[in-house]
Amino acid sequence: MSFVIREAKGLEDALATEELQVAAWGFSDREVVPHSSMVVAMHTGGLVALAYDRDKPIGFVYGLAACEGDRRWLHSHMLAVRPEYQGTGVAPALKWFQREWSLKKGFPLVTWTFDPLLTKNARLNLGKLGAYADTYYEDFYGVRTGLYAGLPADRLYVKWELEHPRVKERARGVVPPPPKPEGEPLNLTEGEGVNLRPRKLLVPSAPKVYLEVPFDIEAMKKHDLELAREWRLHTREAFKWAFERGYRATDLAREGERVFYQLERA
């Protein structure tokens, strides 16, 4: 499909991001980031960029300038795409636009958070963009509505090193297919599909380990919310164990309809 991406320039662009949040995530009015915050970002070193199908806004990406000591980077707070345009390449195109913009502004790093149980996001962030995660936050945002309702808002913290060879390779369009899981398993499971259940965590020691997660947590939530919550707590413990021992999440591996986080020692 054909679409264009451009940096937001005025109030109309900023206003469009409110409706896009509701369309993409079903947020309540209380949780929508107001257009005024977008205006502030546009004038204080952040980025707001929108994707358009002709004159229709179909997605946006929103980031804030961040600093710690002498370090400066961009923290990407939001990326939203209308449901009917998801899976059409809009989301990765917005991220690659963000990379080019960040490099021009002198930001070598972009960070963001995402729900580790949303596996499509995991594959985009880690496999297709070449980022990695080595930090886990429990209930980062508190109670959520819409897409994120029903589970504690745990998040993985992603680091996208823009000049890393792995990232530059993907920027050139060289994106390997989802790998098979490598190394030792980090957990045991039973069942399949929406009935997949975590049995126990293991204690591997290999340089590479893998963690099975549900393929479709949204379908599981509708089928058995308590099982979805069990997965949240199970994966929370697994990621924290792995990160404390020097592993980082680098991709989402796949075998048929089963998916696994691939983790490697840094």
Q: Which of 81-95, 103-117, 145-159, 228-242 has the lowest mean pLDDT?
A: 145-159
Domain boundaries, the chain: 4-171, 184-265
Reduced to 3 states (helix: H, G, I; strand: E, B; else coil), residue 218 is helix
pLDDT in tens, 30-87: 889 999 999 999 999 999 999 999 999 999 999 999 999 999 999 999 999 999 999 9
Residues 6+ apart with CB under 8 A from 57: 13, 16, 17, 19, 20, 50, 51
Amino acid of residue 155? R
Residue 155 belongs to what H/E stretch? strand 155-161
Q: Is the pLDDT of residue 242 over 90?
A: yes
pLDDT of residue 230: 98
pLDDT band at 144 (very low <50, low <70, confident <90, very high): low
Q: Which CATH superfamily is domain 4-171 in?
A: Gcn5-related N-acetyltransferase (GNAT) (3.40.630.30)
Reduced to 3 states (helix: H, G, I; strand: E, B; else coil), residue 205 is coil
Q: Is the pLDDT of residue 210 over 90?
A: yes
pLDDT band at 28 (very low <50, low <70, confident <90, very high): confident
pLDDT of residue 109: 98
Q: Is the pLDDT of residue 145 over 90?
A: no
pLDDT band at 226 (very low <50, low <70, confident <90, very high): very high
Residue 204 to residue 202: CA distance in whole angstroms: 6
Residue 220 to residue 144: CA distance in whole angstroms: 18
Task: State the average pLDDT over residues 96-112.
Answer: 98
Residue 104 burial class via C-beta count within 10 angstroms: exposed 0-12, middle 13-18, buried 19 and up:
exposed
pLDDT band at 149 (very low <50, low <70, confident <90, very high): confident
pLDDT band at 143 (very low <50, low <70, confident <90, very high): low
The alpha helices in the chain, defined as continuous H runs, are 11-25, 35-43, 90-105, 119-122, 165-171, 217-223, 225-244
Task: State the average pLDDT over residues 87-92.
Answer: 96
